[in-house]
A and B are shown apart, each in its own frame.
Chain A
């Protein structure tokens, strides 16, 4: 069994998670649904390529040029990243669309808060539920 893995910067990943977890919370507190859309778009862009992940690249640049920090490498399967980001983006998009069309608003805010909560947990406690789901799906579909 062979597997293609890529090396990412752990700090930059966590920064992206922290910001994209904080934005939906801010959206809930200010009732600004556009912040949810922005978060969904951030996740969508990250899904296609890490080069398009603006927050990741921004922190990478900042830590390299300003903080002079060494990269904290972490190995990840790009498919896992794609799945996690794609899944999160879809959840935020569903939440945004429900709120935009004013349908099941409580449910939509619930999804928004739950995903935000899990994203912040992944950032600060390093426990990623979506990665667990990815592994389960991988096991089920035997990819």
Chain B
């Protein structure tokens, strides 16, 4: 036993699906035939009901015309009509069922493709956003590094300046001292003992 509430959860194409647009299926509470599980049309658009009505009208008209002209309806005509209508009905049923199912599958595939497309777009957007964020981070890091580099260069220049100045300040008195030492060892200020000379030479070196 199945309740109507359970049936509302069944999707189109699944066993037991009830087409809510068709009053026949809705009133019965189950699909009148297997093909109706794939159908969403209204009852007035149902090809099979149209086929039934038109067939009955045509058969009636044909029998009436036959009786009107020949005052008799032959057995062969009846058998011919039966065979024609039933054979046509059989293949009409088969082919239409195939078309209905194929249409349903095509529709389903289109929806799935659309979903996939949307998902793909969403993924691309997400990844683009991520790449932009990464790029911004890298740019920020580059700027910081550039500034640090400049600071480092300034420091290096300051260090070089300091070294030059220090060198200058140290060399100037030393050169004077060295000059006087040279004069002393050369004997410009008088003779010096051998011991003092050795000591002065050691000092020069």
Contact = CB atoms under 8 A, between A and B. Distances in A.
Task: Decide whether A and B assemble into one complex.
Answer: yes
B90 A124 contact: yes
A75 B27 CA distance: 14
Interface stretch (A53-61, A85-93, A97-105, A127-135): A127-135
A124 B89 contact: yes
Contacts of B55: 121
B29 interface: yes
B35 A117 contact: no
A120 B28 contact: no
Contacts of A76: 30
B93 A126 contact: yes
B69 to A, nearest CB: 17
A5 B30 contact: yes
A80 interface: yes
Given A124-B93, A139-B27, A29 B85 contact: no
Interface string A67-88: 0000011111100100000000
Nearest to A129: B52
A113 B3 CA distance: 39
Given A2-B3, A74-B34, A75-B16, A124 B29 contact: no
Interface in B5-28: 15-16, 23-24, 27-28
Contacts of A66: none
Interface residues of B, number: 34
Given A117-B59, A127-B89, A28 B78 contact: yes
- Most A CB contacts (10 A, CB to CB) among B1, B23, B86, B93 go to B86
A141 to B, nearest CB: 12
Contacts of A4: 1
Given A1-B4, A74-B34, A135 B27 contact: yes
Nearest to A2: B3
A77 B59 contact: no
A25 interface: yes
B199 interface: no
Chain A CB within 10 Å — which of B24, B28, B51, B92 has the most? Answer: B28
B188 interface: no
Interface centre among A76, A124, A125 (most CB of B within 10 A): A125
Contact of B79 (A29, A80, A131, A135): A29
B48 interface: yes
B151 interface: no
Interface of B: 1-4, 15-16, 23-24, 27-35, 48-49, 51-52, 55, 59, 75, 78-79, 82, 85-87, 89-90, 92-93
Give 8 nearest A-B pairs by CB, closest first. Answer: A125-B89, A124-B90, A75-B30, A3-B29, A127-B52, A125-B93, A126-B33, A127-B48
